[in-house]
Chain A
């Protein structure tokens, strides 16, 4: 009975289920709506006010109010000694941030986009991530590297790469990627308070999006744990893992009762939540924006195969960006980034691989 009902459900629609979506969006009638930008700005403001050792560093973070206005108002409030406009020297100022962190200051280094972090990657990996280990615990590095990651709109190949997989492969780093305002606030606060180097991957296209937040989220002591994923939507047919902007796409395409996991933390990956979910739904789709080879999805797939192999009813589907440098033309760019249709198609494939016997009767 249930199976037939489910079959009908599956066959029926991949249309947006509007009531479901709007329920999700306004679960608290008294909730305030804030943009991701406001969430990040308020998190930075509160952490800077709570701890005088926190300071900001980056290009255009001060007088320009932030290249994407994330640091708006902070120069005025905290002064030029705590909000530093740097020259265009990623390697230099990242290293300076690391050196300051060695002495217990808490720098928040902004990269205008994470593509520019490639000029400073030596410091992120070699002098930040590895130092606690090389010094056997004598020197910890409480630094946060933040900035927009991944594709924006029409910015071309050199401004559109997703660095989640690169940084997440390095021991000693924590890599976080928020989706909504609650994630942005909670994870950034956690990152600033954390005694280890944290790579905080934001998404430029999400900065202007508003999300409802509860009063708890707005409280200045709100903090999310690092290493725990969030089940954005419970389901039972297939597990979809996503992070950052991709999570937005997932919530729109219900129809198959997908369980959507917002990873939040790419390193450490919450394998426990992912595996528990796969053991429930028996199917997995990983979604990410970055290049497919050696990506986050590859790691999740390997983890699930290692830990929950006998629970899988279908091969793991990996949806990633196209294996090409990001093209400029708008239609090509759209093809190079996963779209809702791609995920729907993958979900269908995953679910139709093995149809329950009762449903065919």
Chain B
């Protein structure tokens, strides 16, 4: 969680210094959800997220250096600078994105869960019990794709957990102004799956709920809908002036900061001392500083990278005027973008 918070704060700094650009959506305040869920997963389990994906990537194991470089648009980023803040992918860590359209990740996550079941039943990989987590927000819960996937996941008993990060705001649209029945967890049973509500500012509570839901999925009992009540301390994105939210509401949730709460819990229950926690803080600061340095020093993508990876099979660029496939020409990627 500390890594997530420090990282996001550094992102804000870097953005205002011009090192990061475009749309950047920070996760401050919601760290308990990411940590609570993702830290229970195995490497082969997959996570699908939205544009607010930096911390999901970090929790899943993508190195801070790779994420920071990606944000700076450098070739050493996890997607070689081609994805950006909103499109973090990692095959190694089974992070399947990073989607800008809300609701877009949910069917993709459902598909990943479907694959897990298919592998077990059709391809006979007997011990394949991979679980998929789909993270999305309160605004997405009014989108058609959400309901389509609740239906199909329950219908086909897919090993997926739908995690709603209800931070009450979709940019400037309050959840209460946008939703006829704001209690999202109640929508699960309508489709035949359990719907659970949890305090998303408390990482230990989230972890308990997550254990149950992930266990259910792993045993083949089907999907679960978990609504985590959480809050984002910053605006929707770094370009959002955040004028519509009531300062009193912000203060209320700031007092429930998951990191402060966990620190307090650890100290009160003598699980760690102040010194230990300070050491962790310091170590994380070093990791984040190192990530920034690494990203700064990394090269930008070369011109030839523009045309790379459009296709897995680059014959898709077609046949050139000389009758051969364009991609077979060694000078292909040195050209301009006009293909």
Contacts of A270 in B (CB 8 A): 318-319
How many Å lie between the Cα of A185 and that of B21 in the bound state? Answer: 47
Q: Are A135 and B91 in contact (CB under 8 A)?
A: yes
Q: A95-B110, A95-B145, A139-B96 are in contact. Are A123 and B312 (CB under 8 A)?
A: no
Q: How many residues of A contact B (CB 8 A)?
A: 60
A333 to B320 CA separation, bound complex (whole angstroms)? 38
Interface residues as binary, A286-304 with B (CB distance below 8 Å gives 1, 0 otherwise): 0000000000000000000
Give residues 111-142 of B contacting A (CB, 8 Å). 111-115, 118, 121-123
How distant is the Cα of A86 from the Cα of B148 in the complex, in angstroms? Answer: 11
**Which chain A residue lies CB-closest to B308?**
A137
Total A-B Cβ pairs within 8 A: 189
- B337's nearest neighbour on chain A, judged by CB, is A171
Q: B106 to A272, Cβ gap below 8 A?
A: no
User: Which A residues are CB-close (under 8 A) to B98?
Assistant: 134
CB-based contact B114/A100 at 8 Å: yes
Chain A residue at minimum C-beta to C-beta distance from B156: A84
Complex contacts, B92 vs chain A, CB 8 Å:
138
Q: Is the CB of A81 within 8 A of B118?
A: yes
The bracket for how many chain B residues form the interface is 35 or more
Query: Which residues in chain A, 87-119, are within 8 Å of chain B measured between CB atoms?
Result: 87, 89, 91-105
Q: Does A122 contact B (CB under 8 A)?
A: yes
Instruction: Tell whether, in the assembled complex, residue B152 and residue A142 are in contact, meaning their CB atoms are under 8 Å apart.
Output: no
In angstroms, how far is the closest chain A Cβ from the Cβ of B120?
10
Q: Across the interface, do B316 and A227 meet the contact criterion of CB distance under 8 Å?
A: yes
Chain B: minimal CB distance from A108 (Å): 14
The verdict on B249 contacting chain A, using a C-beta distance below 8 Å, is no
CB <8 Å contact, B321 and A136: no
Query: Do B108 and A98 have beta carbons less than 8 Å apart?
Result: yes
Check: A243 CB closer than 8 A to any chain B CB: no
Chain B CB within 8 A of A348 CB: no
B315 located at the interface, meaning its Cβ lies under 8 Å from any Cβ of chain A in the complex: yes
CB within 8 Å for A132 and B309 given contacts A81-B118, A92-B145: yes
With both chains docked as a complex, state the minimum distance between the C-beta of B255 and any C-beta of chain A, in angstroms: 38
- CB <8 Å contact, A196 and B107: no
Return the contact of A135 from the options B87, B145, B322 (Cβ within 8 A): B87
Q: Do A272 and B320 form a contact, CB below 8 Å, given A52-B123, A99-B107? A: yes
Contact with B along A239-273 (1 / 0, CB 8 A): 00000000000000000000000000101111111
Q: Do residues B79 and A135 form an inter-chain contact, with CB atoms below 8 A?
A: yes
Given contacts A52-B123, A53-B123, A100-B118, contact A133 B152 (CB under 8 A): no
Contact (Cβ within 8 A) A96 B107:
yes
- Is A86 a contact of B111 with CB atoms below 8 Å? no
Contact A93 to B107, CB < 8 A, known contacts A99-B112, A137-B309, A174-B316: yes
For the complex, is B155 an interface residue (Cβ under 8 Å from A)?
yes
User: With an 8 A cutoff between CB atoms, is B163 at the interface?
Assistant: no
CB-CB < 8 A to A89: which residues of B?
148, 151-152
A87 touches B91 (CB 8 A): no
Is A228 part of the contact surface with B, judged by Cβ < 8 Å?
A: yes
Query: Among A134, A172, A196, which residue has the most Cβ atoms of chain B within 10 A?
Result: A134
Q: Is the CB of A268 within 8 A of B152?
A: no
Nearest Cβ distance between residue B82 and chain A, in whole angstroms? Answer: 5
A55 at the interface (CB under 8 A from B): yes
For residue B90, CB closer than 8 A to chain A, the reply is: yes
A275-B321 contact in complex given A91-B145, A268-B316, C-beta closer than 8 Å: yes
Contacts of A93 in B (CB 8 A): 107, 148, 152
B325 close to A (CB within 8 Å): yes
Given contacts A95-B104, A134-B83, A272-B320, 12 further A-B contacts (CB under 8 A): A81-B122, A87-B148, A92-B152, A96-B149, A105-B115, A122-B101, A132-B312, A133-B309, A136-B308, A172-B310, A226-B315, A272-B321
Please list 13 pairs of residues, one from A and one from B, whose beta carbons are closer than 8 Å in the complex, sorted by A's number: A55-B122, A92-B151, A99-B48, A122-B104, A133-B82, A136-B79, A137-B308, A138-B79, A171-B310, A195-B313, A227-B316, A272-B319, A272-B321
Contacts from A to B (Cβ < 8 Å)? 52-53, 55, 81-82, 86-87, 89, 91-105, 122-123, 126-127, 131-142, 171-172, 174, 194-196, 225-228, 265, 267-273, 275-276, 307
